[in-house]
Amino acid sequence: MEVGQMQRRLVEFTKSLFMEGFLDGQFLQLQQLQDESNPDFVVEVVSLFFQDSEKLLNDLTSALEQQNVDFKKVDAHVHQLKGSSSSIGAQRVKNACVVFRSFCEEQNLEGCMRCLQQVKQEFYLAKNKFETLFTLEQQILAAGGSIPATEITSF
């Protein structure tokens, strides 16, 4: 694949991510933090997010499966997830977490279960998207091209 084409695809893809609400402005901030001294910053952070979040999701699943659900503990986990997702700009995961937390406050087990599924779904979706994005970027870099700056700023 040609570099230019790949670059266009990347731009298109990134745009679609924003349009579909997977990402928000925070991701752009994150991108801005990446510079020559810190070239893999975004990838590092995002992979850290995935590791961390997978662990959190497992914890959440086991916590909700217990006989007496400790909603405080669940809430803390969700809070963490929400914080980290908002930090990388994974908007839909964050939104799902917000709903999740409100069910936790109500101590609504059923709602929590449903939200867990929702968050998981969103999380994996986001993971997929990010992986595609990074793959594309790496391909471009491998082809000797440069990552085009994301132009969308106002969402």
Partner 1 sequence: MDAKTGLLGGDGKISLNWREKVLGKIVKIQHRYDHLFGSKKISNALWRKLLYTWVFCATMFSLWIFLYMSSQAIEKRKETLASMCDERAQMLQDQFNVSMNHVQAMSILISTFHHGKSPSAIDQTTFAEYTKRTAFERPLTSGVAYAVRVLHSERAEFEKQQGWPIHRMDTLEQNLVHKDDFDPEVLEPSPIQEEYAPVIFAQDTVSHVVSIDLLSGKEDRENVLRARASGKGVLTAPFRLIKTNRLGVILTFAVYKTDLPSNATPDERIQATAGYIGGIFHIQSLVEKLLQQLASKQNIVLNVLDTTNQSHPISMYGSDEADDALEYVSTLNFGDPFRKHEMRCRFKQKPPWPWLAITTSYGFLVIAMLTGHIFYATVNRIAKVEDDYQKMMELKKQAEAADIAKSQFLATVSHEIRTPMNGVLGMLHMLMHTDLDVTQQDYVRTAQASGKALVSLINEVLDQAKIESGKLELEAVQFDLRAILDDVLSLFSGKSQEKGVELAVFISDQVPEKLIGDPGRFRQIITNLMGNSIKFTEKGHIFVTVHLAQEVMDSLDVETESSSKNNLSGFQVAERRVSWAKFKTFSQHERVCSYPSSTYDLINLIVSVEDTGVGIPFEAQCRVFTPFMQVGPSISRTHGGTGIGLSISKCLVELMNGEVGFVSIPNVGSTFTFTAVFNNGHSNLNEYTCQQMNNQSNSANSEFEGMSALVVDPRSVRAKVSKYHVQRLGIQVEIVSDLNQVLSSLKSRKPRIDMVLIEEEVWNNDSDLSILFVDQLRHIDQKVTPRLFLLAKSISSTRSDNVTCDTHSPAVIMKPLRASMVAACLQRTMGNMGNKGNYRNGEVSRLSLQHLLLGRKILIVDDNKVNLKVAAGALKRYGAELVCVESGKEAISLLTPPHSFYACFMDIQMPGMDGFEATKTIRDVEKSVNRKIQLGEVSAEAHGNVLNWHVPILAMTADVIHATQEECMKCGMDGYVSKPFEAEQLYREVSRFSYSAESRKL
Residues found near partner 1 in the complex (CB under 8 A): 26, 29-30, 33-35, 37-38, 41, 44-45, 48-49, 52, 76, 79-80, 83-84, 86-88, 153-154
- Determine contact, residues 26/17, Cβ cutoff 8 Å: no
Kindly state the smallest distance separating residue 140's Cβ from partner 1, in Å. 22
Q: Is 34 exposed, middle or buried (0-12, 13-18, 19+ CB in 10 A)?
A: middle
Kindly state the smallest distance separating residue 110's Cβ from partner 1, in Å. 25
Instruction: Report the C-alpha gap between 49 and 44 in whole angstroms.
Output: 8
Between 3 and 152, CB nearer to partner 1 = 152
Between 1 and 52, CB nearer to partner 1 = 52
Between 86 and 102, CB nearer to partner 1 = 86
- Determine contact, residues 145/3, Cβ cutoff 8 Å: yes
Q: Which residues, 6 or more positions from 103, have their beta carbon under 8 angstroms from its beta carbon?
A: 111, 112, 114, 115
Instruction: Report the C-alpha gap between 64 and 33 in whole angstroms.
Output: 37
Kindly state the smallest distance separating residue 45's Cβ from partner 1, in Å. 5
Find, among 52, 75, 51, the residue nearest to 63 by Cα: 75
Between 30 and 57, CB nearer to partner 1 = 30
Kindly state the smallest distance separating residue 31's Cβ from partner 1, in Å. 11
Between 34 and 139, CB nearer to partner 1 = 34
Kindly state the smallest distance separating residue 2's Cβ from partner 1, in Å. 27
